[in-house]
Amino acid sequence: MVAIVDAPTLRSWLNDGEEIAVLDVRDGGPYARGHILVATSVPRANFETLVPRLVPRRATRIVLTDDDGSLLGEAAGLLEACEYPNVHVLERGNAGWTAAGYQLFSGSNIVSKVFGELVEERCATPHVDASTLNSWIAEGHPFRLFDVRPLAEYRTVSIPGATNCPGMETVLRIPAHIDDASTPIVVNCAGRTRSIIGAQSLRDAGIVNPVFALQNGTMGWQLEGFVPDHGQSNIVTEPFGESLDAARSRLRDLATRHSVRFIDRPTLDEWTADTTRTTYLFDVRLAEAYSLGHIPGSVNAPGGQLIQSTDTFAAVRHARIVLVDEHGVQAVMTAHWMARMGWEVAVLASTNDDLSQTARTAPATLVEPESAARAITAEELQELLSTGACDVVDVGESYWYRQGRIPGSHYAMRSGLSTALGRFPKNRTLVFCCSTGAQAPFAAGDAIRMGFSDVRWLEAGRPSWRRAGGSFESIGDGDDELLLTPTDDMWYPPWARAEGAREAMEEYLSWEVGLVDRLKTEEYLRFSPGFDLN
């Protein structure tokens, strides 16, 4: 029998300083509409692939929650079968939490976002609004504009003239591209958090130029009626030689000033072997650099995104975090912020000799996928589709399905497959795909258990289709006959909505600014001194 915990007990656990992971097993849409503040979204549809990465130490204290407790038995049973010995379910789920008088929060990555608001307030991070930036452009006022979001977001929508420089790459790359110390630097994201952290990172690293966060980012730009760009791919190149040496020197100085902790490889080995504490090892470089060589066992978590969405990488509160990079720049800057967020964090010193692994290892899963469903390559799928011999069912993120799906492919949330697949005869060949190839094998297993006799899944996901030269088609937010379930698997950011985008942007920005006051009641949420909520 799985242990049941009531809401007051969970609240006391959140205050006791011991490791705990609160996992919300609902799909991403319901999660975003209301969840316990520190609960990590681990939908049952992704459970087999997410849990080993988010909760790597099996003895971790785990509490599962959902709307009302109805979804928790299956997830808890799976964890217990996989020898997680310390699993609890929240009595009546979130309904029990609210009945006890506690808050639920809408949105995503809330702790990171409120931290960004505190940084702007406590560090007095300068900002410039969209109207001022537009006048600078019109008047030919010299400045440089850098978009610190991941390249995929930047390509979707950007501000004219912006160059992409994701996350903690700013302190490594930007200074080498600024010739005049008087040139203003403006940093933007879609909204607020990454703009603030990106701008303040440059200031903390000792950049002498005037540095500004663009108030409200691309959403602020659009709300003022200014036209954005789409499809841009200009990214700041990496420095070398004297410029690289200068970046390293700046970050060594920052590490000294802010007491960033460094550990050696024997200490890392000792920590990862410790069965009483959780240690995350994150490589904070961009994915391209990670793929060229990384420490075995490290997880790629680009620094800017790790700060922006910490809960999607580390579900265990009070765990240790070790950061790695190639130059001692991005890891130091990221550690500087993670420590301020209240994490126990260290940088692995002298890592270059350890960056030996080039191939991405298959991520650990709770259980093995159903063996009766076999993997196929993109080329094999192209051959099947050319003769109409199969139907493709995409179970990945619905946003990216809408942006570019395999032509003719259906979409279904895995949680809705039991009804979604009813339109297909049981002897029809079905091929499941997703964004990475991780989720599709488990959805294929579901179809096997439902009685389908010929089920396959696309190896390496939609990217493999692109690499094989396959075409894509996009759809809007309207009705589409290929949608087998609602697209309620994730939170759609305001800028990604075809209808009501302006209202959603205004509501989002107001919500983000108001977070600090709402979170003051959550006494278990603690940042470092100087960044506390009260």
- Three-state secondary-structure class, residue 144: strand
Instruction: Determine the pLDDT at residue 2.
Output: 85
- Does one domain contain both 157 and 234? yes
Instruction: Determine the pLDDT at residue 480.
Output: 87
State the CATH number of the domain containing residue 302: 3.40.250.10
- pLDDT beneath 70: ranges in the chain: 476-479, 498
- Those residues with Cβ within 8 angstroms of residue 506's Cβ, 6 or more apart along the chain or in another chain: 223
Query: In Å, how far are 85, 185, 250, 520 from 210, measured between CA atoms?
Result: 53, 6, 17, 32
Structure tokens at 361: 């290892």
Per the domain annotation, does 321 fall within a domain?
A: yes
Per the domain annotation, does 509 fall within a domain?
A: no
Strand partners, 458: 376
- Does one domain contain both 156 and 78? no
Contact (CB, 8 A) for 508 and 189: no
Cα–Cα distance for residue pair 125/115, rounded to 1 Å: 13
Query: Considering 467, 494, 517, which residue would you say is the last residue of a domain?
Result: 467
Instruction: Determine the pLDDT at residue 479.
Output: 63
Per the domain annotation, does 309 fall within a domain?
A: yes
Query: Considering 467, 495, 520, which residue would you say is the last residue of a domain?
Result: 467
Helix pair 330-340, 241-257: axis angle to 10 deg? 20
- Does one domain contain both 387 and 459? yes
Read off the DSSP letter of residue 57.
Answer: S
- Does one domain contain both 221 and 132? yes
Neighbouring C-beta atoms of residue 59, cutoff 10 Å: 15
Q: CA 310 from chain center: how many Å?
A: 7
Residues 80-118 as b or e (16 or more Cβ within 10 Å = b): eeeebebbbbbbbbbbbbeeeebeebebbbbbbbbbbbb
- Does one domain contain both 61 and 127? no
Helix pair 47-54, 72-81: axis angle to 10 deg? 60
- Does one domain contain both 104 and 117? no
Cα–Cα distance for residue pair 25/64, rounded to 1 Å: 7
- Does one domain contain both 118 and 231? yes
pLDDT 10s digits, 151-169: 999 999 999 999 999 999 9
- Does one domain contain both 127 and 219? yes
Per the domain annotation, does 493 fall within a domain?
A: no
Per the domain annotation, does 54 fall within a domain?
A: yes
Query: Considering 417, 442, 467, which residue would you say is the last residue of a domain?
Result: 467
Instruction: Determine the pLDDT at residue 52.
Output: 97
- Three-state secondary-structure class, residue 226: coil
Per the domain annotation, does 515 fall within a domain?
A: no
Cα–Cα distance for residue pair 409/470, rounded to 1 Å: 13
Q: What share of the chain is helix, strand, coil (3-state, %, to 5)?
A: 40, 15, 45
Q: CA 74 from chain center: how many Å?
A: 25
> What total of structural domains would you count in the chain?
4
Structure tokens at 236: 């700041």
Per the domain annotation, does 480 fall within a domain?
A: no
Structural domain including 457 reads: 374-467
Q: CA 146 from chain center: how many Å?
A: 20
- Does one domain contain both 393 and 315? no
- Does one domain contain both 93 and 186? no
- Does one domain contain both 268 and 337? yes
Cα–Cα distance for residue pair 485/209, rounded to 1 Å: 51
Question: Cα 304–201–155 angle (5° rounding)?
Answer: 40
Q: CA 257 from chain center: how many Å?
A: 29
- Does one domain contain both 226 and 213? yes
Cα–Cα distance for residue pair 404/452, rounded to 1 Å: 27
Per the domain annotation, does 360 fall within a domain?
A: no
